[in-house]
Amino acid sequence: MMSAIKRIHAATDFSELGNEAVRRAAIIAAREDAELLVTHAFPRQSAFDAVFAGEHDLQDRMRALAEENLAAQIKAAQSCGATRARGEILTGSARRVLAETSDIFRPDLWVIGAHGSGLLQQFLLGGTAAHILNKASCPVLVTRRAVEGDYRRALAAVDLGPRSEAVLRAALIVAKHAGVKLLHAYAAPFEAKLRNKRFPETEIKRLAEREFLVAQRNLDALLADPELVGIDIESELSHGKPNTVVPDAARALGADVIVVGRHGGGRIRESLIGSVPRFLAYYAPCDVLVV
């Protein structure tokens, strides 16, 4: 479960969204007085030689440029109030060196860009970013658009399974000054298959209503936590598939960030283990925090 944020690890490939990830991390670090480590993975000499044979000074020139870019990112982060920000150039395979550095640094939050030209490749195509999203032992915040300030509206999408409390608490921490809305998408068990097999709509509706009542009880139980007393949390149950319901709700709310669990529970556990967080990280209209 997410608690206070003391250490943040942001990775950038110096693409537009990679640098926005650093800015988002800096805003959170400044607010939480957290330590911020900004890293960039740089290829080994052998990788340059394999691609740029004969360009003997190319690696040195590109290394100098990377160090200059990283220094600029750290200066910008510190100007945002992240006084404990520092940068590090890592040499080697991005997937390996980022994982090793994270194991040593032990961040409470990862921040990465949604996609880029190098390190942060498109999620559905795999790559280092997808590896971070899947393997990180802490929540991963994926920036998907330009940063305009601290979060103002957050949508916590829960499946009402075991990780729902962690999702809600993470939303309250990362989006500390934002209004938080709790959302659960429900449907009749195997609703699409029942409809494809021409199951009576009246029976499908009855099953969906039963799921609604169960979801309402579970939602009320989640919000009954004494620690949440006095916190203004809006809630909604919406009929449909999460991949459709959640982005639509985020747009309607004008959400700056969607918070979702990495693992699922209940009847739709299988689909929530990876597909919903990945779908949102790639297609959501705003930032996505995967808990």
pLDDT in tens, 158-198: 999 999 999 999 999 999 999 999 999 999 998 888 888 88
> Averaged over 21-39, what is the pLDDT?
97
Give yes or no for residue 227 having a pLDDT over 80: yes
Whole-angstrom distance, CA of residue 3 vs CA of residue 108: 8
- What pLDDT was estimated at residue 54? 58
The proportion of the chain whose per-residue pLDDT surpasses 90, expressed as a percent, equals 64
Binned at pLDDT 50, 70 and 90, residue 82 comes out as very high
**Which tokens sit at 250?**
């985020």
Confidence (pTM): 0.87
* Strands of the sheet with 153-157, listed across from one edge: 85-91, 35-42, 7-11, 109-113, 140-143, 287-290, 257-260, 153-157, 179-186, 233-239
Q: Cβ of 253: how many Cβ atoms within 10 Å?
A: 18
In the Cβ-directed half-sphere of 42, how many Cα atoms lie within 13 Å? 19
Which position has the higher pLDDT, 269 or 239? 239
Are 263 and 277 in contact by the 8 Å Cβ rule? The answer is no
Are 87 and 96 in contact by the 8 Å Cβ rule? The answer is no
- What pLDDT was estimated at residue 117? 42
Domains of the chain are: 1-148 (3.40.50.620), 150-290 (3.40.50.620)
Whole-angstrom distance, CA of residue 242 vs CA of residue 115: 22
Strands (E), the chain: 7-11, 35-42, 85-91, 109-113, 140-143, 153-157, 179-186, 233-239, 257-260, 287-290
In the Cβ-directed half-sphere of 203, how many Cα atoms lie within 13 Å? 10
> Averaged over 5-32, what is the pLDDT?
95
**Which tokens sit at 140?**
């991963």
Contacts of 35 (CB under 8 A, 6+ apart): 6, 7, 8, 29, 84
Give yes or no for residue 279 having a pLDDT over 50: yes
- What pLDDT was estimated at residue 273? 36
Which position has the higher pLDDT, 4 or 217? 217
Whose CA is closest to 235, among 286, 177, 164, 152? 164
Whole-angstrom distance, CA of residue 35 vs CA of residue 24: 14
> Averaged over 203-212, what is the pLDDT?
94
**Which tokens sit at 241?**
């598939």
Are 1 and 162 in contact by the 8 Å Cβ rule? The answer is no
- What pLDDT was estimated at residue 169? 95
110-134 confidence digits (pLDDT tens):
999 986 444 334 433 346 777 888 8
Give yes or no for residue 266 having a pLDDT over 60: no
